[in-house]
Amino acid sequence: MPVNDPVIAEQEPAADFTIDQKWDRYTAGEHAIWTTLYERQMGVLKGRAAPEHFAGLDMLNLNEGGIPDFRRVNEKLEKLTGWTVVTVPGLIPEKDFYEHLANRRFVSGRFIRDGETLDYLPEPDIFHDVFGHVPLLTQPVFADYMQAYGKGGLRSLEFDAIKHMARLYWYTVEFGLINTPEGRRIYGAGIVSSRTESIFSLEGKSPNRLHFDLERIMQTDYRYDDFQQSYFVIDSYEELMEATYADFAPIYESLPGRPEYKPSDLLDTDRVYSRGTQDYARKGGLLGDAEPV
């Protein structure tokens, strides 16, 4: 939680960790940072992001300039897919996070990064949460997938399988790629909201690009502090939904006896789109270097 945000500090979160956005308390400088990030990303994402992302931005009028007011966003979003965006002070417990998703509530931080850390921050801010995640919630199939993920996450608590569900979220919702008639595109919010990883994930020679495999992903660790060493690709959002709609209990029960894979591992059973050199990770990573290596 950004302790230097007085709007957050002065609020006592509700039992579900939500707080008021207090949109009128954002400063002109904070609105300017959003606009800078938005305009810069729109330039980078042309020909790289999934068309559904651009459609969602338009449907929710996220292109009006400045930090969006969730009251206005929710008027449109709820009519489209029954989702709303709620504000939280920072990272919240897994159970509460899953409960929000299972009830079609997407949690967003209130704070926005400062002008000195436009390219990277360790905790997601409102630009990542709203620009990155919310547009796809306008799409019925993806909206259903997110709710199903929340329900699956709640079930995972019974089997001590939180880390496996975190991996699924990471490699799909945050860092997923999708095949489209126009070519491979980005749909994951962690990439969409990052200028440098938008280039690296699609054009870099370093990472592997593999086809989506639910159980394989659940057995695969990930990089939380740098560009990914492997990206998983789906053919459609329906593919995600079909995989997630199943009862995960048998998978959860079998996972403790299965091998754990490193982020760079390639298996004989993988459907490989591109075998990465892994040069970026081998050199220690640069985090912010936009050159495709």
Q: Which residues are annotated as a binding site?
A: 128, 133, 174
DSSP letter for 127, please.
I
Which residues does the annotation place in the binding site for Fe cation? 128, 133, 174
State the Cα–Cα distance between residues 111 and 100, nearest whole angstrom: 19
CA angle 38, 201, 269 (to 5 degrees): 145
Q: Please answer whether residues 286 and 292 qualify as being in contact, where contact means their C-beta atoms are separated by less than 8 angstroms.
A: no
Contact in structure between 214 and 158 (CB atoms under 8 Å): no
State how far Cα 153 lies from the chain centre: 16
Sequence letter at residue 87: T
> Residue 129: which of 252, 260, 34 has the closest Cα?
34
